[in-house]
Chains A and B, each alone.
Chain A
Amino acid sequence: MAEALVLEPKDFASDQEVRWCPGCGDYSILKAVHRALADAGSDPANTVFVSGIGCSSRLPYYVNTYGFHTIHGRAPAIATGVKLANPELDVWVITGDGDGLSIGGNHLLHALRRNVNLNILLFNNEIYGLTKGQYSPTSRVGTRSPTSPSGSFDQPVVPGVFAVGAGATFIARAVDIDQKGLPTLLNAGREHEGTAFIEILQNCIVYNEDIWESVSSKKTAADSHVVCVHGQPLLFGKDRKKGLRLNTQSLTLEAVVIGEAGVTENDIKVHDETSTTLAHLLLSMQAPLPMAMGILHRRQGEAFDTTYRKRKPEGRRQRVKALLRSNNVLDRRPAANS
């Protein structure tokens, strides 16, 4: 790109009118995406947003880069094709809990285990929005919806735990309204070599309002989430007196209060983002334990697209001609007989 071309977040907004419901959490995520792209100095020509189907998947239309709104559940597969065809591109995948974990669960699994260099953003609102409010694979047991009027009874999947199981090398969690932290987190995922999986807790104001209120409301947030920072003790609460301790007997994390029952800061588990075991424990925590936020797991692993053969075709026509002769050749030309 020409020098002096510094793009602002607004430069990454497309000319299309945004069509989400007023007050939808997607607006804040979109804003964070624009900000992240500007912060990273992204080149719109070399950036591609690929999405599936659902409310979240409309996002590529609103970002002024290349964008591909595909079919339900298949964004990771299409994005894999984009990335393998041109590994120079910065490829983002936008998906939701239904798109990514229900109809598209298989592709998400394989993108994660292959470790394709993609930045996958899964908007989790625990509901099907665009089809008018049916319960989703992440809906909590008891979710009342048009297809579960007496409350859903199937066990939900925890997106991050699924990602751990699939062998993901980068797993993070954030909340939609966090305009300060989210852009930084998105860019951490973008910079990661391999698949970055970022679950964004997103508020559907129409069908599942305030499902994340405990972590998004100022009143309760401090006690209901823990921001995990590599090398830092896992502390939370208004005055950061609460912490997570590893119970070595049960192999679970438990919430403790420093200064109570003889607990000191030394008892608090220090976050190690390279540990898949700790990531699993953190991601599995449910209320009354705090919700784990931030970069929960990050480790090095070879990205599929860097291993994927990139040899450029050279002397291609000669090679094709040689292939045509890759079997015994019967020469009936006159010259051969002379």
Chain B
Amino acid sequence: MTQQEMWQKTSHVVRFAGDSGDGIQLQGAQFTQASALTGHDLATFPDFPAEIRAPAGTRFGVSAFQIQFGGDRITTPGDAPDVLVAFNPAALVVNLNHITSGALVIVDESAFNEQRLRRADLNSNPLEDGSLKDFQVCAIDIAALTMEAVKPFGLGAKDSGRCKNFWALGLILWMFDQPREPTVQWIRRRFGREASVMEANLAALNAGHAYGETAELGAVLAQHSIPPAQLASVEYRTITGAEALALGIVAAGELADVEMMFCSYPITPASSLLHQLTGLEDAGITTFQAEDEIAAVCSAIGASYAGKLGLTSSSGPGIALKTEALGLAVATELPLVIVNSQRAGPSTGMPTKTEQSDLYQAVYGRNGDTPIPVVASRSPGDCFDTAIEAVRIALQHMTPVILLTDGYIANASELWPLPDIDTYAAIPTARPNPLTDDKRAVFSRDPQTEARLWASPGDAAHIYRVGGLEKDYDTGNISYDSDNHQRMTDMRSRKLASVAKFIPAQSLEQGSERGLAVVAWGSTYGAVYQAVKDALREGFDVSHIHLRHLNPLPANLGELLAKFDRVLVPELNTGQLATVLRDKLQIAVIQHNQVNGQPFAVANLKAAIRVQATRRMKEASHG
């Protein structure tokens, strides 16, 4: 990529990288806001270590934030940055392999001293030894320029140094002609009580901006306005997966007119959902930080028994601990929502790295025949609708529901059209109707949904006892009767199957019903979408099918897939959806798997599609 080619692009991929205490994530989040308000479509990818403040300057301590933004439809944070901002040698070297040839590399020159190079295990200075020959390099003494800018505010050396992320942000905002205003507002809110810190950060931001305008860095660092994206005539905001999940949950509670209790135990990367939901009592939800994962799910089940909707959340290891309780919720036919923000396993694995490897756990991972519906969200904004869907299934069918998201979507953000919840359908519940003096037996079940009556304490007409022992189909009393257990097991299977009657038929995201079907689920949506889009443009006979419902699968899925010559299943695991499809649909599928803790690169998927798909030569040449 030449300089000219680079600046002709209508979308860019920028990566900020530094120590985990450098405020990289903040810098990225502020740039995201500015980009959104400019009208760019965007997708972000915060990529940070599990350590809170890893030793400064080390390779393993590098924290990064990547954003793709611009005038095109953006569905991924981009395969390869064309602008890298690196605050130290480690941040530079760990990212060099991933950036586009010809990319702009902005470094804080002051950090390339002997000591910091050694911290990054470097024997020579990459600024001088030719390792950057394929890139446009802009070495600026960011630390010194920041110090100078904040000098009037009398901060100590440490606090002054901490302002450099805003200096760099100011420069990048200038470079892409994006507004400083949202960041100015944020700094004022955040540091309002510490006037000197606030002023210093504002000064750093403005100084970085002014540096771009005045330093005459020529062609290397010039200002480029990126055109806005073609957006629909609605309102937008940026949103992370954790935020959208939280909003979806509170919206679902309102749509169902049910109060909620969210019980959780801190675990990476699921904790942000607990943070988001805390303090929203007036939106109908309370939170409870339990003593452990088991207590979290159990208190949620207690809440559901008592008439609120209980929800719990964790990541794979925590879900494993909750598993026995999920069986109790199935046996007692209580509504419950379990959110799993998947991360790389097994065991503690890589807490901040993403993976899709808990699908078996969700679909199959329990003792007994214990069916639980499973849904998965595909992007940060999609978490909103997926949360509503999970709550709907739980309440309509009186069942626990597992919602799979992952570390990537939880933290990533995208531009999201604001939903109008007045247009959403109300969520039905199985509550007794007090107005009609409902005398139905608690274990009479709706033939459509298999939901039993959601009676709860306080209701004198439906006093009942229930537990994890097998119960009589009609009365709910303990029953070890063999025919009854068969009947109850059949009912539980039927209940799962009944969920499929209420979900939309599976449709295609792109392509037509022939050739190669790329069937994916969860957070690979953006990359698969882009890869299929590119492959279609190149004339390949390929379609994209993205599943939200994984258990049960949409009723028409088998029929739909039968129309294709081949089915390719790309996943961030060793082939779990592939197994489910073989199991449930008895079809042959081709696997494409990656488990390196990173989302799929579009190029990687395109390569896999090219191998499996055939080109529609004629149509391509005519098209």
Contacts and interface: CB of A to CB of B under 8 A. Distances in A.
Give the interface residue-count category, chain A: 35 or more
Contact of B298 (A46, A78, A109, A329): A78
A320 interface: yes
A45 B466 contact: no
A250 interface: no
A128 interface: no
Interface in A273-332: 308-311, 313-317, 319-321, 323-325, 327-332
A44 B477 CA distance: 18
A6 to B, nearest CB: 16
Contacts of A51: 467
A49 B468 CA distance: 14
B421 to A, nearest CB: 6
14 contacts: A46-B457, A46-B458, A61-B467, A66-B463, A69-B465, A70-B468, A78-B305, A81-B300, A84-B286, A84-B302, A311-B281, A314-B282, A324-B237, A330-B37
A85 B291 contact: no
Contacts of A217: none
Interface residues of B, number: 71
A313 B465 contact: no
A106 interface: yes
A84 B288 contact: yes
A314 B284 CA distance: 8
B477 A77 contact: no
Given A48-B457, A328-B36, 11 more contacts: A16-B477, A78-B305, A81-B263, A81-B304, A106-B295, A316-B253, A316-B282, A319-B282, A320-B251, A330-B236, A332-B39
Main secondary structure of the interface of A (DSSP, over half): mixed
B182 interface: yes
Given A85-B261, A106-B291, A320-B421, A327 B298 contact: no
A71 B422 CA distance: 40
B307 interface: yes
Contact of B421 (A47, A60, A324): A324
A48 to B, nearest CB: 5
A306 B166 CA distance: 45
A67 interface: yes
Interface stretch (B227-235, B358-366, B400-408, B528-536): B227-235
A135 B327 CA distance: 28
A74 B286 contact: no
Main secondary structure of the interface of B (DSSP, over half): mixed
Contact of B237 (A49, A311, A327): A327
A110 B291 contact: yes
A327 B456 CA distance: 38
A65 B477 contact: no
Given A81-B261, A313-B284, A330-B235, A321 B298 contact: no
A330 B414 CA distance: 13
Contacts of B235: 325, 329-333
The 6 closest A-B pairs by CB, nearest first: A81-B302, A69-B467, A81-B299, A67-B465, A77-B298, A45-B460
A82 B302 contact: yes
B261 A1 contact: no
A311 B458 contact: no
Contacts of B457: 45-48, 66, 82, 86, 89
B254 A320 contact: yes
B324 A50 contact: no
Nearest to A308: B286
Contacts of A48: 305-306, 457
A266 to B, nearest CB: 46
A7 B39 CA distance: 69
A48 B455 CA distance: 13
Q: Taking each of A53, A84, A325, which has the highest tally of chain B beta carbons within 10 Å of its own beta carbon?
A: A84
Given A66-B457, A82-B302, A325 B284 contact: no
Given A80-B302, A84-B303, A68 B458 contact: no
B562 interface: no
Nearest to B471: A69
A337 to B, nearest CB: 9
B583 to A, nearest CB: 28
A107 B328 CA distance: 17
B491 interface: no
